[in-house]
Amino acid sequence: MANITKKVSWSSRADESGATGEGTPLLNGSEQPRHSRQLSEGRSIFQIGRLSTVDLEEEITSEEDSLRGRPKEIPHNEKLLSLKFESLDYDNIENQLFLEEERRMSYMGFRCLEISRWVVCGLIGFLTGLIACFIDIAVEELAGFKYQVVKENIEKFTEVGGLSISLILWAVLNSAIVMIGAIIVAFFEPIAAGSGIPQIKCYLNGVKIPRVVRLKTLVVKVCGVICSVVGGLAVGKEGPMIHSGAVVAAGVSQGRSTSLKRDFKIFEYFRRDTEKRDFVSAGAAAGVSAAFGAPVGGVLFSLEEGASFWNQMLTWRIFFASMISTFTLNFFLSIYHNKTGDLSSPGLINFGRFESDSVAYNLYEIPLFIAMGAIGGLLGALFNVLNYWLTIFRIRYVHRPCLQVMEAMLVAAVTATVSFTMIYFSNDCQPLGPEHTEEYPLQLFCADGEYNSMATAFFNTPERSVRSLFHNQPDTYNPLTLGLFTLTYFFLACWTYGLAVSAGVFIPSLLIGAAWGRLFGRLLAAITSSGSIWADPGKYALIGAAAQLGGIVRMTLSLTVIMVEATGNVTYGLPIMLVLMTAKIVGDYFVEGLYDIHIKLQSVPFLHWEAPATSHWLTAREVMSSPVTCLNRIEKVGTIVDTLSNTSTNHNGFPVVVQVTGSDEPAKLCGLILRSQLIVLLKHKVFVELARSRLTQRKLQLKDFRDAYPRFPPIQSIHVSQDERECMMDLTEFMNATPYTVPQETSLPRVFKLFRALGLRHLVVVDDENRVVGLVTRKDLARYHLGKHGLEELQLAQT
Amino acid sequence: MSLSKSSLSLLLFILNMSTIALSDGLNLTALHSADKLKQIPSLNRAAAAVVVNSPMFKPAVEPIFSLNLLSSFPEDLEISDYCKELLNIFGQRYVAYVSCLVPAARPVTVCQKCFSSFGSLREAYANISSESGPGNVSCSESLLRGDRLMVVNQLNTSLEELWTSSACDNCVTKGLQRLTNDTLYFMNTLNQTDDCFDKYRQGNHTELCKNCKSTYQELNELYGRMEKNQTMCIDIEDSMNMTRRLWSKYYNCSVPREETVPVIAVSSFMLFLPIIFYLSSFLHSEQKKRKLIHPKRAKSYTSLMNIQDKLG
């Protein structure tokens, strides 16, 4: 068993092959029940090569002995793959039940299905829009109340003294609100932490993240995001919208809620991973579209993140969902703002209109924009590196829920403190505008009729700050204010992202970028002196915001379109695209995007677009897991139960083999069956003997499998009596009779392509006589990645 | 013929007057419209000259066609005496209003001083634009929409805009009879504050700050209330702005920044908390370890290391 640990290096001596071959079953044999058939133990086929570890830097031999016999424990790092993640079953299981059902279904039935897909998409859009609207109104009301209280307090104490009490009040209010948000996230649903975009990215990539699309997650997410924005953290509510949209989609399309134990008996056909995932991509698009008022951007976001499974009709449906979502939000917000029917406030964040003459740009400004893109890339890379170290620290040391809540509260308190100090010491006073664009103007030590301009940036919800940075008069902020604001907000945002609160990183990035972009614009205007109408700070704030956001998240096409749509000005398409390109190129030189970093840190087996370069020499034989636990076509129930309940091998797919009776030939592959299917079969006791005795027994239908979806009961909850263990089970009807297979010599990129393009979960590796040699799963492929020292291999770990 | 001549010269007179009156106005809109107006008289003057000359000399080379067209309008296209009269009244009141506005530009008192003249101007314009006059004559067609330039209309529009942006409606009663009670009350309070300022102007300003604080405070609160109720016009805003500037900048009565020490103390305490938190969780919290799982693998000739050696 221990011989095969990564740390042990095998010398490639040919004469050892026999001996080690004998030992091979130990790899798993000692723990595995022997009833399961183990094929191809590699004895005759392979010679033993030198198995070696990939992380060469670590010590290899000294600890070797002491390590034997027990699993090795290492601190969490990014080079791990977690066992808890599984693939989605995107590939259709074409078993006999499926074929039967398809035969039974009429032409009208298929038409109805198509129509109900549209209905579902419309519902997704509508509900997502409603949720966005709810979040927006709740944040506006609660934050308005909070700022009003603090403002009155500050005004009171400015005169009579005791401003430190206001500071404490502000800090305590913030931490109290954030505490609520952190408690519900840390104790009830940790998966709702963060923006949710990494999780949705993984889901669209085909990874089943546990509990990510549950109703409870949605509730926690929505309440959490309201708390964290109202609590004054450096966060936005846009990222969580995408997650919320995805949850809505996953819920609506199923026509029932497992959490509430309500089944509406509709949309039953959609209760499988294939359909659900399509709807989730529509939900994510609807979320983006509600968040930014960018329907096309939403569609492209889904396209960028989950594009391997795409078709034209699906795109069109997703676009429909997006449009419905943004206009639902629009409509309800218009009611809220007492302008019923006015459909002109799309999106949670509204960049306002960039229309006046001064925001036109000229050819000679393009190099400036590109330079800003580079700055954005650098700053973004710095942000990501800092956040990476912080997140590692958090995973290793701040993993207890109560600690996480405390940390969030501390961040909230410090955010308030820093903001207050900044405002307190700022000397930047500006006259009040005629129509009061400033929501909560703080006078503090400014002259009467003026307000503290640092306060408009800090004493406000982040969205409003972004808008005032984009649109306020050119001389609203002096350069010192902008510089200080950029600096503090950069570190605050970096510190905040990754806390156990649900919150997005879009708005903080935009805010940082807008601040230094505006600074850039002001400095340009100062340098060029001659009245320079062209260097409008608002324009540079927009470009800076795009650069910073691009530098942090590294999205490309969808982000460009989102930004263009959010500004409502197509002419900015070119500069924004150039800026995002530059930011991505510069940033990628140093470190990956923030979302990718977090995906890695969560040890998710994420499949990128392509297999890592220079991996053509790897063949399926090296990649696959072997030996494979196979089942006979007619298998004893006891064997199946034992195989499933074996805790050490949490396999989900089992190749089904058939043994030619009477001959000595090894069994040949004839199908593939999933754990979930076996569990349903056991639950319904579909045994050969029972079927014979009770002829009237209802035949199992695909519906029975759907009813159990998606939370199949664990094997422990299924009771199988001793007598039943002796029964036999015929898997012929239920297994997927035509699983995808590859020969052993297939190269890794080929396997990868097949896997990625078809959305497979299991890929059987067979030899030339169709005997099962091994099984390739997502984790086998995802463990290779191109690091600094060439091809590296990630390790599997229990998390 | 004579009708058109006299009306044109009248117009010319009005326009010149208003140009003179407006050209030293500080208001941007006024300047702007004055610019526009400057072009109009010169055009008209040329036209008038041609009209005057045309019946006496008829040089063969001149494009007589157009001149003849001008001079031989049929009777019903000419404007009536009634309309001429209306236009005359409008001109006089326009001049009156503008000449009231200009001196009131700085400090802004346009609402208090000129609301009555604006009322009469408005009345004159209403007469022009009303559809029915005596004998069912409508002047609006000929005077307001007779040509592309629409002089009367434009003149009126620019002044209406001025009126709207000054928000004078908030300070004047309906029908432009008198100033509202709120405005008068505000002016009264303002005067008290100004008196107070005058009283303590000499000598130490701290004295002023202390003694005038109550009246100033009262004024400030009144202004805040009016701001909320939207019962302010430019006069009030401007006078309040001036007073505030006097108070804060000139007399330096703003609240000084005095509590730096407690604020710094509290904030540094707050900033210190996270450091303690992270240190303690680093030292006391158990580091989370991950159990490595060893996947089942077939063994083969090649290994990553070998290949990497080769590649390396």
pLDDT tens string A5-22 = 333 333 333 333 333 333
- Are A389 and A520 found together in one domain? yes
Q: For residues A484 and A532, which has the higher predicted lDDT (pLDDT)?
A: A484
pLDDT at B40: 42
pLDDT at A496: 94
What mean pLDDT comes out for the span A608-629?
87
Q: Residues 53..112 of B with a Cβ closer than 8 Å to A: which? A: none
> Is B270 an interface residue toward A (CB < 8 Å)?
yes
B303:A46 CB<8 A = no
- Are A300 and A161 found together in one domain? yes
Q: Which of A64-78, A476-490, A597-611, B93-107 has the lowest mean pLDDT?
A: A64-78
Q: How far is B201 from chain A (nearest CA, A)?
A: 19
Q: Residues 67..126 of A with a Cβ closer than 8 Å to B: which? A: 71-76, 80, 83
A46:B301 CB<8 A = yes
Q: How far is B24 from chain A (nearest CA, A)?
A: 26
Confidence of residue B206 (pLDDT cuts 50, 70, 90): confident
> Is A774 an interface residue toward B (CB < 8 Å)?
yes
pLDDT for B9 beyond 80: no
- Smallest Cβ distance to A798: which of B291, B297, B311? B291
Confidence of residue A713 (pLDDT cuts 50, 70, 90): confident
Average pLDDT, chain B: 73
Q: For residues A634 and A434, which has the higher predicted lDDT (pLDDT)?
A: A634
- Are A597 and A719 found together in one domain? no
CATH number of the domain bearing residue A363: 1.10.3080.10
Q: How far is A610 from chain B (nearest CA, A)?
A: 19
Taking a C-beta distance cutoff of 8 angstroms, is the pair B253, B210 a contact?
no
A164:B266 CB<8 A = yes
What ipTM was estimated for this complex? 0.82
pLDDT at B302: 45
A798:B301 CB<8 A = no
Q: For residues B32 and A666, which has the higher predicted lDDT (pLDDT)?
A: A666
pLDDT at B122: 87
Confidence of residue A323 (pLDDT cuts 50, 70, 90): very high
Average pLDDT, chain A: 83
- Smallest Cβ distance to A46: which of B262, B290, B298? B298
- Are A329 and A369 found together in one domain? no
Give the closest residue to A109 by CA, choosing from A271, A318, A320, A269.
Answer: A269
What mean pLDDT comes out for the span A311-319?
91
Which residues in chain A have Cβ-Cβ distances shorter than 8 Å to B259? 161-164
> Is A22 an interface residue toward B (CB < 8 Å)?
no
For B262, which residue in chain A has the nearest alpha carbon? A164
pLDDT at B169: 84
Q: Residues 403..442 of A with a Cβ closer than 8 Å to B: which? A: 403, 406-407, 410-411, 413-414, 417-418, 420-421, 424
- Are A235 and A362 found together in one domain? no
Choosing among B273, B304, B305, which should be mutated to test the A contact, i.e. which has the most A CBs within 10 A? Answer: B304
Q: How far is A75 from chain B (nearest CA, A)?
A: 5
Cis peptide before A627 (omega within 30 of 0): yes
pLDDT in tens, A359-414: 678 888 899 999 999 999 999 999 999 999 999 999 999 989 999 999 999 999 99
Q: How far is B97 from chain A (nearest CA, A)?
A: 26
Domain end (from A551, A569, A601): A601
Q: For residues A68 and B106, which has the higher predicted lDDT (pLDDT)?
A: B106
Q: Which of A91-105, A244-258, B246-260 has the lowest mean pLDDT?
A: B246-260
pLDDT for A279 beyond 70: yes
Confidence of residue A139 (pLDDT cuts 50, 70, 90): very high
pLDDT for A140 beyond 80: yes
B244:A407 CB<8 A = no
> Is A395 an interface residue toward B (CB < 8 Å)?
yes
pLDDT for A352 beyond 60: yes
Dihedral, CA of residue B302, residue B305, residue B311 and residue B312, to nearest 10? -160
**Which residues are within 8 A (CB) of B86 and not within 5 positions of it... i.e. 6 or more apart?**
B124, B127, B128, B133, B139, B143
For B256, which residue in chain A has the nearest alpha carbon? A445
Q: Which of A357-371, B111-125, B136-150, B174-188 has the lowest mean pLDDT?
A: B136-150
In a domain, residue A430? The reply is no
- Smallest Cβ distance to A71: which of B291, B303, B304? B291
CATH number of the domain bearing residue A714: 3.10.580.10
Q: What is the DSSP letter of A619?
A: B
Q: Which single residue is written with the structure tokens 């990956």?
A: A592
Domain tally, chain A:
3
A790:B241 CB<8 A = no
In a domain, residue A454? The reply is no
B267:A421 CB<8 A = yes
Cis peptide before B274 (omega within 30 of 0): no
pLDDT for B307 beyond 50: no
Taking a C-beta distance cutoff of 8 angstroms, is the pair A11, B306 a contact?
no
Which amino acid appears at position A223 of this protein? Answer: C
Confidence of residue A283 (pLDDT cuts 50, 70, 90): very high
In a domain, residue A83? The reply is no
pLDDT in tens, B267-278: 999 999 999 999
B300:A424 CB<8 A = no
- Are A620 and A486 found together in one domain? no
- Smallest Cβ distance to B293: which of A40, A83, A420? A83
For A784, which residue in chain B has the nearest alpha carbon? B304
CA angle at residue A121 from A120 to A123, to 5 degrees?
A: 65
Q: Which of A109-123, A497-511, B74-88 has the lowest mean pLDDT?
A: B74-88
Q: How far is B267 from chain A (nearest CA, A)?
A: 6
Which residues in chain B have Cβ-Cβ distances shorter than 8 Å to A76? 288-290
Which residues in chain B have Cβ-Cβ distances shorter than 8 Å to A52? 303-305
> Is A310 an interface residue toward B (CB < 8 Å)?
no
- Are A590 and A676 found together in one domain? no
- Smallest Cβ distance to A424: which of B263, B302, B307? B263
In a domain, residue A377? The reply is yes
> Is B259 an interface residue toward A (CB < 8 Å)?
yes
- State the alpha helices, DSSP H only, in A497-629: 506-528, 537-553, 557-567, 573-590, 594-601, 620-623
In a domain, residue A267? The reply is yes
Q: Which two tokens stand for residue A590?
A: 């140093």
Which residues in chain B have Cβ-Cβ distances shorter than 8 Å to A42? 298-299
pLDDT at B135: 62
In a domain, residue A513? The reply is yes
Choosing among B240, B245, B300, B307, which should be mutated to test the A contact, i.e. which has the most A CBs within 10 A? Answer: B300
For B254, which residue in chain A has the nearest alpha carbon? A447
Q: Which of A60-69, A104-113, A208-217, A778-787 has the lowest mean pLDDT?
A: A60-69
- Are A215 and A319 found together in one domain? yes
- Are A575 and A620 found together in one domain? no
Q: Report the Cα A420 to chain-centroid distance in Å.
A: 34
Q: How far is B297 from chain A (nearest CA, A)?
A: 5
Which residues in chain A have Cβ-Cβ distances shorter than 8 Å to B302? 49, 617, 622
- Are A586 and A618 found together in one domain? no
pLDDT at B24: 43
In a domain, residue A68? The reply is no
Taking a C-beta distance cutoff of 8 angstroms, is the pair A368, A524 a contact?
yes
pLDDT at B72: 54
- Are A525 and A557 found together in one domain? yes
Share of chain B above pLDDT 70, in %: 68
For A799, which residue in chain B has the nearest alpha carbon? B290
Highest mean pLDDT among A27-41, A160-174, A334-348: A160-174
pLDDT at A55: 40
pLDDT at A60: 36
Confidence of residue A112 (pLDDT cuts 50, 70, 90): very high
B270:A621 CB<8 A = no
Q: Which of A301-315, A639-653, A673-687 has the lowest mean pLDDT?
A: A301-315
- Are A260 and A381 found together in one domain? no
Dist. CA A287–CA A281, nearest whole Å: 10
Q: Which of A312-316, A736-740, B228-232, B299-303 has the lowest mean pLDDT?
A: B299-303
- Smallest Cβ distance to A27: which of B220, B293, B296? B296
pLDDT in tens, A436-489: 555 677 877 887 778 888 888 888 888 888 888 888 777 778 889 899 999 999
B263:A445 CB<8 A = no
pLDDT for A530 beyond 80: no
> Is B295 an interface residue toward A (CB < 8 Å)?
yes
> Is B26 an interface residue toward A (CB < 8 Å)?
no
Choosing among A40, A448, A623, which should be mutated to test the B contact, i.e. which has the most B CBs within 10 A? Answer: A448
A167:B241 CB<8 A = no
pLDDT in tens, A723-775: 888 888 888 889 999 999 999 999 999 999 998 888 889 999 999 888 898 99
What mean pLDDT comes out for the span A201-214?
90
pLDDT at A438: 59
Q: For residues A150 and A70, which has the higher predicted lDDT (pLDDT)?
A: A150
Which amino acid appears at position A685 of this protein? Answer: K
What is the span of the domain harbouring residue A787? 613-797
pTM: 0.81
In a domain, residue A773? The reply is yes
A-B CB pairs within 8 A amount to 197
